[in-house]
Amino acid sequence: MRWTCVTCPDTNLCTQCYHGGKHSLDHEFLRIVHPNGIRVKLHSRFGARRVMAVGIFPNAEVVRGHDWLWGDQDGGLGKCGKLQKIRGWENETSRSIAEVEWAETGKCNVYRVGHKGKVDIKCLKPAPGGYYYPSHLPVLGAPQLFHATQDIPDYTPPTVLLTTDVGGPLRSSEVPFEHHGLVPGDNVRVGLDVDVFKIMQEGHGDWDDSLLNNLSDVGTVQSVLDNGDIRVKYSGSRIYTLNHNAVTKVTCFSTGDIVQVIDDIAAVHSFQENHGGWVDDMALSLGQVGRVVKVFPTGDVRVVVNSRTWTYNPRCLSHAPLKEIAEDECA
């Protein structure tokens, strides 16, 4: 994307510089997604909400991903590495290659993270990658507001992605808040780092130190407010107002339920942090069916799979169709 200053038309910024606060924050800019593309005029960045980006950035922990073609270069299935650097591929693509150092082998290699549409690695533990202005970014797949013109018409702010923007009033052009699908009675859990959660609570019930006691607990949605925030009740009858983007819907299980472990090693590795942890042997349980033998107050689930017992984050499981399981697999 290219960002052109309206006041200083000779000033053009890349996305990193624009969201990094380069040039005057009081000046309005035009956003151009591709060469000769339509221009969208944006309000100035001064006073606009900024959000920290987290994901595949330097210091993130990663494993082999969907398009992996490199054998056991990573040290074997499930082995993780640390991302060292993001760069481009010669003059073909920008920020599409990642340099990763693998813990098992100590070797550093380069992998595709968008180059020619391929992604070789998955993120296990995200790293911060600077800040951005959610309401200044285009919505993927949504049409632009108007075509290029010499005289820019009166501006209407672009639609904001509710999954990334953590504040600001709802505009008529936005997707209604009901899209999050949460209703009273749903079980939810906050699965965020404390610092990120605090940021997301600004303007959405705000922060209460007692929330620290419930970060890993499952709560029940009591009501959905007009602005999309949810009222969640935890054990002890305490009810909090939470940003709906800060929670994940949790499927609750009971002892004896037949469940299936999701077949996504990166997702399971990530979900297991602070929920029983991850060991390499758990890779053998991915995609397998087992039986619930215990449900913890936090919602975590102990499951017997192939005669091995594991404690899972419920996000790693789904209800499986009732089927016969050998007694030696469930004992």
Residues 146 and 6 in one domain: yes
* Neighbouring-strand partners of residue 232: 221, 240
CATH number at residue 223: 2.30.30
Instruction: Answer for the pair 195, 77: CB distance below 8 angstroms, yes or no.
Output: no
Domain boundary among 232, 249, 266: 249
Is the pLDDT confidence value at 238 over 60? yes
Per-position b or e across 106-138, b if 16+ CB within 10 A of its CB: eeeeebbbbbeeebbbbbbebbbbeebbbbbbb
Burial of 243 from C-beta contacts in 10 A (0-12 / 13-18 / 19+) = buried
Q: What is the mean pLDDT of the chain?
A: 80
Distance CA 65, CA 123 (A): 9
Q: Of 239, 316, 318, give the one whose Cα is nearest residue 275.
A: 316
Give the per-residue pLDDT at 322.
58
The CA distance from 331 to 318, in Å, is: 20
Phi, psi of 17 (to 5 degrees): -70, -40
Statement to judge: residues 141 and 41 lie in one domain:
yes
- In this structure, the answer to whether residues 28 and 137 fall within a common structural domain is yes
pLDDT for the residue numbered 86: 94
Evaluate whether 298 touches 218 at the Cβ level (below 8 Å): yes
Q: Which of these three, 215, 249, 283, is where a domain ends?
A: 249
Radius of gyration over every alpha carbon of the chain, rounded to an integer in angstroms: 23
Q: Which of 118, 151, 174 is the last residue of a domain?
A: 174
Q: Which domain holds residue 78?
A: 54-130
Q: DSSP 3-state assignment of 123?
A: strand
Pick from 28-42, 138-152, 204-218: least confident: 138-152
Q: Are residues 11 and 138 in the same domain?
A: yes
Distance CA(168)–CA(228), nearest Å, equals: 12
DSSP codes, 289-301: EEEEEEE-TTS-E
CATH code, 81: 2.30.30.40
Position 167 confidence tier, pLDDT thresholds 50, 70, 90: very low
188 and 239 inside one domain: yes
Is the domain of 76 the same as that of 37? no
Same domain, 119 and 141: no
99 and 214 in one domain?
Answer: no
- Whether 153 and 18 share a structural domain: yes
Percent of the chain, pLDDT > 70?
Answer: 84
What's the domain count of the chain? 4
Q: What is the pLDDT of residues 281-323, one digit of tens each?
A: 898 899 999 999 998 877 889 999 999 999 998 888 888 865 5
Residues 209 and 167 reside in one and the same domain: no
Same domain, 165 and 106: no
CB 12 within 8 A of CB 3: yes
Q: In the structure, what pLDDT confidence band is assigned to residue 158 with cuts at 50, 70 and 90?
A: very low
